[in-house]
Amino acid sequence: MPHHHHSENKTSNFAFVFFINLAFTLIEIIGGYLTNSVAIWSDALHDFGDTLSLGLSWRLEIVAKQKRDHLFSFGYRRFSLLGALINGTVLLTGTVFVLSKAIPRLIHPENVHSEGMFGLAILGILVNGFAALKLKNSKSIGESIMSLHLLEDLLGWVAVLIISIAIQFGNYTILDPILSVMLVIFIIYNALKRIKKTLLIFLQSIPDDIDVPELEKALRQFENVKDIHDTHVWSLDGNYHVLTTHIVVLKTITLEQIIALKCLLREKISEFDVQHITLEIEYADETCTHCR
């Protein structure tokens, strides 16, 4: 079946890019030590974060396919949020170590092995460029996001390449810790943004792409709908949205009309990118226990 084939390709892409990123991250850690470059250590931290994301995404891609059971009535989609929280926390912890090495060098720059930096930069451009191309045409949201991360890494290595050339032709060793601090600031910004977004989903905030007043206004336009209230919208994983709402109908409506109305309402709600819809039908003047 085509859908099954796409799912297998998706998982194999995660596996391929995960292992290539993991191998290169280890090379970076060793290379950073041998070249005495905190910029390379910073990029190693960035790549480690991407590798961790890939590994968790690869594993959770399998877990998320599990259906609902006696433990999780909505299934396992929400497990992907754990990956984002773990990844963000690890990255923030790593930045403390890198900054402890980079900041003193802003005051007292140390010599670095510019030729080694140049070689690692070339290798980094090739590896990240190849990995990004591997995910370039993916239709998966997760893979598309990871492709952007890899392109960011590619630009980081271009910066390392330029600085390694500058150090070779002049006494610009201070550029190494400056680039390191810039990379760390970039990592902190993205990690905090990811953690904030994940926490908002955990706390069941309304998804950014759903306008609840506009949605309720659209539903009120249907014949036999007298009012809409007690609407709740949240997201399981940032992509799969859930909605519950109460539909107040006229007392004169028949059972057949209610069934037809529910179908129309579900179609309209689906246009707002909601995947799981629960409608409670109430008659006019009926007491709602959830009304505020």
Find the domain containing 223 and state its range: 212-283
The gap from C-alpha 162 to its chain's centroid, in whole angstroms, comes to 30
207 located within any domain: no
Q: What is the CATH number of the domain that holds 225?
A: 3.30.70.1350
pLDDT at 1 over 60: no
Instruction: Specify whether 167 is located in the same domain as 258.
Output: no
Of 43, 23, 47, residue with least CA distance to 32: 43
Q: Which residues are CB-contacts of 157 (< 8 A; sequence separation ≥ 6)?
A: 43, 121, 124, 125, 128
- The residue out of 145, 171, 202 marking a domain boundary is 202
The CA-based angle 73-79-85, given to 5 degrees, is 140
pLDDT at 262 over 90: yes
Tell me the three state secondary structure of residue 108.
coil
Tokens of 32: 């950073």
Q: How far apart are CA 89 and CA 277, in angstroms?
A: 33
Instruction: Specify whether 130 is located in the same domain as 260.
Output: no
The rounded mean pLDDT for the chain is 79
pLDDT in tens, 8-25: 455 566 677 778 778 888
Q: What is the CATH number of the domain that holds 9?
A: 1.20.1510
Q: How far apart are CA 171 and CA 174, in angstroms?
A: 8
| Residues forming beta bridges with residue 228, ordered by sequence position | 247
289 located within any domain: no
pLDDT at 55 over 90: no
pTM to 2 decimals?
0.69
